[in-house]
């Protein structure tokens, strides 16, 4: 009940992205209209090439759309200049990628601190690492951590700023099922606690039941948009 | 390029296509490699090509002119002696002549002009030192007509048929010019004691023997014998025989080509060109190898997957290396070709400069095939080294490892958790860890930038050195306005005669007593200069800049002589006088003073008078002159019967200054341009590579909310630190290289002071900083236009 009355976080209208020009043009997104509520956990599914990553990148301000708007709490981020985008990413958005993209020259601790030093209202580094169960590995460099551990550091880094939005592009894509579950658990747990809006792209149908809402893309359009009023916990799903 | 290959009907294999594309994306770095190779090759071809051209031209000229092997000057040699010496074993021909100094009164020259008068055998070319006539003909044996040096004729617009006024042995007379000529003895035509040819103020005359002997009162006698030796003859043996026989006639200081003034200057020029041509191009090629290494490392890093695949398919390491070598060679070949063209053109330009100072019948720039081949070899060596260093890591890869994406770089040994480090911010940590993670690369980058600085500092130091030397030599130490030499040594009374001339404010006499100086196995023919005490015009100072007096007993010698004879203060020099009583004495070295021009040994005039047994004699005087009355003095000197040479300090300075301004500046400009190019190439490539390697990290930082400025700081901070370290290193290495160049270029004639002006460091720093600023600006532009999404995708 209460979930239906969420304040809108993202209001997306007519979002279109065309790569290239003329005959070589590829339409990655063809007019997406969506409203995503604050604190919603959205799982985004769809075949390869359907435009999921493109969508996420535009929401995160990493890429600009060809047409349409993306309002975040009323402000159209597609109109932001570099400075606004930087500030927005710094204070409001956490990214998690399939490739963990940690800074190899910094320890786990320092990778998180990279963010806490610049964010407006960060949590302590130790708390972030604690949340992903890596409190004891802070002094280790990425090269000394397993893939799952690296991804957990990436999650710690993403949530340490207490982001309003978490954008995850196949966060468990490179992990085995046990590790995936552990990583998802951490991710969902923290997101719920921080009341962050989460949009998670995945190829894994099995993950869908944990979401408040499942959106399916096909050929750059929304094929299906299903609400789930009774999301399961990560422990309950089968991976 | 690809289109070009296609048009040529070539279908490059996919791997090749890919490599071409990658090179295209790094075209600026490829250009930098080619340009540095071009510069190195051009300097090599220019310097060594000019040496080659000068060498061949000189030797051909010497052979055609029957250039003497030995010169045996004396005071008065009876004709009979010549026959005796001509029969000495090893002597192909001995020919006597009369050679003397004279002064000319040239229209348009206020100061008297110096001239060398040389006798011609009766109505014919001499056998030794034949003239190369450039106009007119030789004078008739019974006249006192003359042939004059070509460059002097040209400087004064004289041609055969014109007349010229000269004072020979105190008698002024007008002579008719029958021809103009060049002489192998006067390729570099300067009077003794000068450094730079001044064709307006130094003339050489060739006159029939009869006229010369009459003018100089030498009837039936000569004052010089020239020798041509047989192939394989012992020069020292003939020299000793000539010295022995001529000693009673005021001779005994026979010399060979090694101390013949013109030839000595040519040799010293060879020496300098060889030094520059031997040291500078390898530095360029070293830098080219470094830049190539960067480019190839970058390519192989990106292609590691492919390399793994090729290995898995059974390609050998050699086959893979060849793949990259071919492209490195292509890049270098372009640079070499351009270097050949530029070097040949610049060589032509340099030959042009040499033509202005060295009088050859013709001097063409012909570098010769070996020089080009060496240049090619050097460049390809650099390319091979650069590629192999880059390939080392790749070759060591096992295929499976190569094919998986690179693991996060291992920084684990660089934990650096000292309390100090803990306080640094993350950006600085990133910079420092990255620097330390790639110590070899960081060190090479630092070294590369330092090398650019090194060349700039060294090149400019040569310039500073010459400036310093001129300042010291012409202004601080030699304060006389005019130096006058006499046709023969005079009594002390001449000092009063000189003091009575118009405008003369101070007279300081000196006496030059010809002698042979020996110490251990070293020896050198050199006049001892007798000095009167309390000199104020011609001063000496030691290395520390303190005034050095002439000691009451013993010698004060120049540092150059102390090196030549390998003696220091407290050692003795064995002096064999070639004048007066021909005494042989051991004299202690009491002081050593600094001079950058020539060799000299000073002695108190009283001691010298006692040693020669001739009493006080005066060979010349230094004069301080009221500037307002300079012209009056010159006019009086032109009429003074005993004057053989007048040297104006200001003129000598002006001539040298002009040469510096015209030529050294040009050279310096080239060096600076090349050095800046190196600095630029290295700084720029380093900045680009650091960006390319770290796009992913940069994109990540941007995604995390770092601003462009933050990211620029991390990227450029690293370069900044390397430059900060490279500047003092480059300054230091530049000074060392300058010292080495100065030492290697120094000869008996002059030494290049080891001086670097502070401004030189400032200037070199400025160039590096500008290069860094431009590179930084380009990197910042790349950061600005960085596509975050594609940067975060796995490349390949
Ligand atoms: N930089 C680009 N230039 C051209 N086309 C692009 C570019 N990036 C993506 N595309 C195209 O846009 C479409 C959508 O790509 P996108 O990466 O968003 O798909 P996706 O749904 O994330 O696929 P996957 O599940 O494989 O990651 C694809 O057809 C892709 O080829
Ligand atoms: Mg995707």
Indicate which atom in ligand 1 lies nearest the CA of residue A50: 21
Q: B758: burial class by Cβ within 10 Å (0-12, 13-18, 19+)?
A: exposed
Q: Out of A57, A86, A103, whose CB is closest to B700?
A: A103
In chain B, DSSP finds a helix count (H) and a strand count (E) of 25, 22
Tell me the domain boundaries of chain A. Answer: 38-61+91-227
Q: Does A86 reach chain B within 8 Å, measured CB to CB?
A: yes
Phi, psi of B566 (to 5 degrees): 55, 50
pLDDT of residue A79: 92
Categorize the per-residue pLDDT at A1 as very low, low, confident or very high, splitting at 50, 70 and 90.
very low
pLDDT of residue B795: 44
In sequence order, the 6+-apart residues with CB closer than 8 A to the CB of B336 are B37, B38, B41, B375, B376, B379, B380
Mean pLDDT of A5-17: 89
> Given a cut of 90, is residue B314 above it in pLDDT?
no
In sequence order, the 6+-apart residues with CB closer than 8 A to the CB of B269 are B54, B354, B358
State how far residue B782 is from chain A, nearest Cα, in angstroms: 15
Inter-chain CB proximity A104 and B408 less than 8 Å: yes
Most A CBs within 10 Å: which of B406, B426, B713, as the mutation test of the A interface? B426
Question: pLDDT tens for residues B473-518?
Answer: 888 888 999 999 998 899 999 999 999 999 999 999 999 999 999 9
In sequence order, the 6+-apart residues with CB closer than 8 A to the CB of B2 are B12, B17, B20, B21
Tell me the domain boundaries of chain B. Answer: 15-68+261-404, 69-260, 438-478+652-796, 504-625
Q: Out of B409, B700, B792, whose CB is closest to A143?
A: B409
CATH class for the domain made up of A38-61+91-227? alpha beta
Categorize the per-residue pLDDT at B641 as very low, low, confident or very high, splitting at 50, 70 and 90.
confident
Categorize the per-residue pLDDT at A4 as very low, low, confident or very high, splitting at 50, 70 and 90.
low
In sequence order, the 6+-apart residues with CB closer than 8 A to the CB of B210 are B122, B141, B142
Please, what's the largest Cα pairwise distance for chain A?
A: 54
pLDDT of residue B552: 92
| Higher per-residue confidence, B127 vs B330 | B127
Nearest CA to ligand 1 atom 27: A48
Question: pLDDT tens for residues B152-166?
Answer: 999 999 999 999 999
> Given a cut of 90, is residue B1 above it in pLDDT?
no
Tell me, in angstroms, the distance from the centre of ligand 2 to residue A56's CA.
9
Categorize the per-residue pLDDT at B421 as very low, low, confident or very high, splitting at 50, 70 and 90.
low
Inter-chain CB proximity A106 and B426 less than 8 Å: yes
Q: Does B434 reach chain A within 8 Å, measured CB to CB?
A: yes
| Higher per-residue confidence, B494 vs B27 | B494
State how far residue B699 is from chain A, nearest Cα, in angstroms: 9
Categorize the per-residue pLDDT at B307 as very low, low, confident or very high, splitting at 50, 70 and 90.
confident
Q: Which ligand is nearest to the CA of A29?
A: 1
pLDDT of residue B413: 58
Q: Does A116 reach chain B within 8 Å, measured CB to CB?
A: no
pLDDT of residue A45: 94
pLDDT of residue B412: 60
| Higher per-residue confidence, B763 vs B22 | B763
Share of chain B above pLDDT 90, in %: 44
Mean pLDDT of A121-145: 89
Nearest CA to ligand 1 atom 5: A19
pLDDT of residue A2: 45
Which residues of chain A does B411 touch, with a Cβ-Cβ cutoff of 8 Å?
Answer: 104-106, 141, 143
Categorize the per-residue pLDDT at B617 as very low, low, confident or very high, splitting at 50, 70 and 90.
very high
Q: B533: burial class by Cβ within 10 Å (0-12, 13-18, 19+)?
A: exposed
Encoded tokens for A229: 């009023």
Categorize the per-residue pLDDT at B796 as very low, low, confident or very high, splitting at 50, 70 and 90.
very low
Residues 399-418 of B with CB under 8 A from A: 407-412, 415, 417
Measured CA to CA, the distance from residue B184 to residue B261 in angstroms comes to: 11
Mean pLDDT of B511-527: 92
Mean pLDDT of A148-175: 89
Question: pLDDT tens for residues B211-229?
Answer: 999 999 999 899 999 999 9
Measured CA to CA, the distance from residue B269 to residue B53 in angstroms comes to: 12
Q: What is the pTM of this model?
A: 0.79
Which residues of chain B does A60 touch, with a Cβ-Cβ cutoff of 8 Å?
Answer: 703
> Given a cut of 90, is residue B554 above it in pLDDT?
yes
Share of chain B above pLDDT 70, in %: 93
Neighbours of B653 (CB within 10 A): 16
Q: What is the DSSP string of chain A?
A: -GGGGPPEEEEEEEEEEEESSGGG-EEEEEEEEEEEETT-EEEEE--TTSSHHHHHHHHTTSS--SEEEEEETTEEGGG--HHHHHHHHHHHEEEE-SS----TTS-HHHHHHHHHTTSSSPPPHHHHHHHTT-GGGTT--GGGS-HHHHHHHHHHHHHTT--SEEEEESTTTTS-HHHHHHHHHHHHHHHHHHT-EEEEE-S-GGGGGGSSEEEEEETTEEEEEEE-SSPPPTTTS--
Encoded tokens for B21: 């594309």
| Higher per-residue confidence, B23 vs B296 | B296
pLDDT of residue B553: 93
pLDDT of residue B171: 85
Residue B557: strand pairing partners: B592, B601
Half-sphere exposure of residue A111: CA atoms within 13 angstroms, side-chain side:
33
Question: pLDDT tens for residues A88-115?
Answer: 888 899 999 888 888 887 889 889 988 8
Question: pLDDT tens for residues B87-123?
Answer: 999 999 999 999 999 988 888 888 889 999 999 998 7
> Given a cut of 60, is residue B722 above it in pLDDT?
yes
Inter-chain CB proximity A143 and B707 less than 8 Å: no
Ligand 1 pocket: which residues have CB below 6 Å?
A 19-20, 26, 28, 46, 48-54; B 790
pLDDT of residue B409: 64
> Given a cut of 70, is residue B416 above it in pLDDT?
no
Find out whether B305 and B796 touch, Cβ atoms under 8 Å. Answer: yes
Q: Does B298 reach chain A within 8 Å, measured CB to CB?
A: no
The best mutation among A15, A23, A24, A28 to test binding of ligand 1, ranked by most ligand atoms within 8 Å of the C-beta, falls on A28
State how far residue A100 is from chain B, nearest Cα, in angstroms: 10
Question: pLDDT tens for residues A42-90?
Answer: 999 999 999 999 999 999 988 899 999 999 999 999 999 988 988 888 8
Question: pLDDT tens for residues B724-748?
Answer: 999 999 999 999 999 998 888 888 8
pLDDT of residue B674: 76
The best mutation among A54, A57, A59, A215 to test binding of ligand 1, ranked by most ligand atoms within 8 Å of the C-beta, falls on A54
- Among residues B106, B138, B121, the alpha carbon closest in space to that of B203 is found at B106
Measured CA to CA, the distance from residue B371 to residue B352 in angstroms comes to: 19
> Given a cut of 90, is residue A131 above it in pLDDT?
no
Measured CA to CA, the distance from residue B647 to residue B654 in angstroms comes to: 12
> Given a cut of 50, is residue B531 above it in pLDDT?
yes
């Amino acid at each position: 009940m209460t979930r239906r009355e969420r304040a809108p976080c993202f209001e997306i209208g007519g979002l279109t992205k065309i790569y290239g020009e003329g005959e070589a043009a590829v339409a990655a997104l063809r007019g997406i209209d969506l409203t995503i509520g604050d604190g919603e956990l959205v799982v985004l599914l769809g075949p390869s090439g359907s435009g999921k990553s493109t969508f996420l990148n535009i929401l995160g301000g990493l890429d600009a759309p060809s047409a349409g708007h993306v309002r975040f709490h009323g402000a159209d981020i597609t109109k932001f200049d570099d400075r606004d985008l930087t500030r927005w990413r710094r204070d409001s958005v956490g990214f998690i990628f399939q490739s963990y993209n940690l800074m190899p020259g910094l320890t786990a601790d320092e990778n998180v601190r990279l963010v806490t030093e610049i964010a407006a209202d960060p949590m302590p580094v130790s708390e972030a690492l604690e949340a992903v169960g890596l409190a004891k590995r802070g002094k280790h460099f990425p090269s000394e951590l397993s893939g799952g551990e690296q991804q957990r550091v990436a999650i710690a880094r993403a949530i340490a700023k207490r982001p309003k939005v978490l954008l995850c592009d196949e966060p468990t894509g490179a992990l085995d099922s046990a590790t995936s579950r552990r990583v998802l658990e951490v991710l969902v747990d923290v997101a719920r606690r921080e009341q962050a809006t989460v949009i998670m792209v995945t190829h894994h149908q099995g993950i869908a039941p944990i979401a408040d809402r499942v959106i399916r893309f096909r050929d750059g359009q929304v094929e299906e948009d299903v609400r789930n009023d009774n999301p399961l916990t990560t422990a309950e799903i089968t991976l | 390029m690809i289109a070009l290959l296609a048009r040529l009907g070539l279908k490059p294999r996919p791997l090749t296509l890919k490599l071409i594309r990658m090179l295209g994306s790094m075209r600026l770095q490829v250009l930098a490699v080619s340009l540095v190779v071009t510069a190195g090759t051009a300097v090599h071809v220019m310097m060594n090509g000019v040496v080659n051209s000068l060498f061949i031209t000189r030797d051909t000229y010497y052979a055609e002119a029957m250039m003497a092997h030995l010169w045996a000057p004396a005071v008065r040699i009876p004709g009979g002696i010549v026959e005796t010496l001509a029969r000495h074993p090893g002597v192909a021909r001995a020919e006597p002549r009369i050679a003397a100094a004279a002064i000319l009164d040239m229209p348009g020259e206020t100061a008297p002009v110096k001239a060398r008068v040389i006798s011609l055998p009766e109505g014919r070319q001499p056998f030794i030192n034949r003239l190369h006539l450039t106009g007119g003909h030789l004078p008739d044996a019974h006249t006192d007509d003359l042939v004059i040096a070509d460059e002097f004729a040209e400087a004064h617009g004289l041609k055969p048929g014109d007349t010229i006024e000269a004072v020979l042995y105190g008698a002024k007379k007008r002579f008719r010019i029958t021809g103009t000529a060049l002489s192998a003895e006067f390729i570099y035509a300067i009077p003794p004691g000068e450094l730079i040819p001044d064709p307006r103020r130094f003339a050489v005359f060739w006159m029939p023997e009869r006229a010369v002997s009459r003018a100089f009162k030498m009837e039936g006698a000569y004052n010089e014998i020239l020798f041509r030796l047989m192939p394989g003859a012992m020069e020292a043996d003939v020299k000793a025989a000539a010295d022995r026989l001529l000693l009673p006639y005021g001779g005994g200081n026979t010399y060979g080509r090694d101390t013949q003034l013109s030839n000595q200057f040519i040799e010293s020029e060879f020496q300098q060109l060889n030094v520059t041509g031997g040291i500078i191009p390898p530095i360029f090629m070293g830098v080219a190898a470094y830049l190539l290494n960067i480019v190839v490392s970058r390519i192989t890093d990106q292609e590691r997957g492919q390399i793994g695949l090729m290995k898995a398919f059974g390609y050998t390491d050699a086959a893979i290396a060849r793949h990259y070598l071919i492209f490195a060679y292509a890049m270098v070949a372009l640079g070499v070709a351009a270097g050949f063209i530029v070097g040949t053109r610049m060589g032509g330009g340099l030959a042009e400069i040499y033509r202005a100072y060295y009088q050859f019948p013709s001097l063409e720039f012909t570098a010769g095939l070996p020089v080009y081949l060496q240049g090619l070899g050097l460049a390809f060596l650099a390319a091979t080294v650069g590629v192999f260093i880059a390939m080392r890591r790749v070759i060591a890869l096992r295929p499976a490892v190569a094919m998986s994406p690179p693991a996060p770089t291992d920084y684990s040994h660089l934990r650096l958790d000292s309390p100090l480090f803990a306080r640094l911010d993350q950006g600085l940590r990133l910079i420092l860890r990255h620097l330390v993670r790639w110590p070899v690369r960081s060190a090479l980058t630092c070294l590369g930038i330092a090398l650019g600085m090194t060349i700039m500092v060294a090149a400019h130091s040569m310039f500073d050195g010459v400036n310093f030397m001129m300042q010291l030599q012409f202004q601080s130490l030699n304060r006389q306005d005019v130096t006058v030499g006499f046709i023969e040594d005079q009594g002390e009374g001449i000092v009063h005669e000189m003091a009575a001339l118009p405008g003369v404010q101070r007279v300081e006499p000196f006496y030059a007593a010809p002698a042979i100086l020996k110490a251990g196995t070293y020896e050198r023919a050199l006049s001892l200069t007798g000095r009167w005490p309390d000199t104020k015009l011609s001063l000496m100072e030691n290395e520390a800049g303190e005034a050095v007096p002439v000691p009451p007993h013993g010698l004060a010698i120049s540092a150059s002589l102390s090196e030549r004879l390998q003696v220091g203060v407290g050692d003795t020099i064995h002096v064999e006088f070639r004048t007066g009583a021909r005494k042989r004495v051991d004299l202690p070295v009491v002081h050593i003073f600094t001079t950058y021009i020539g060799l000299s040994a000073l002695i108190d005039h009283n001691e010298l008078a006692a040693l020669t047994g001739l009493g006080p004699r005066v060979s010349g005087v230094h004069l301080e002159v009221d500037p307002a009355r300079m012209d009056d003095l010159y006019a009086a000197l032109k009429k003074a019967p005993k004057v053989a040479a007048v040297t104006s300090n200001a003129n000598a300075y002006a001539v040298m200054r002009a040469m510096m301004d015209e030529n050294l500046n040009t050279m310096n400009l080239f060096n600076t341009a090349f050095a800046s190019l190196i600095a630029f190439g290295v700084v720029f490539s380093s900045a680009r590579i650091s960006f390319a390697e770290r796009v992913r990290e940069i994109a990540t930082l941007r995604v995390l909310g770092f601003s462009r400025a933050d990211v620029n700081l991390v990227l450029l901070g690293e370069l900044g630190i390397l430059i900060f370290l490279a500047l003092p290193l480059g300054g230091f290495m530049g000074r060392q290289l300058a010292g080495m160049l100065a030492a290697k270029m120094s000869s008996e004639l002059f030494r290049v002071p080891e001086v670097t002006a502070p401004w030189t460091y400032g200037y070199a720093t400025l160039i590096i900083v500008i290069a860094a600023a431009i590179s930084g600006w380009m990197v910042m532009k790349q950061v600005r236009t960085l596509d975050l999404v594609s940067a975060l995708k796995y490349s390949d």
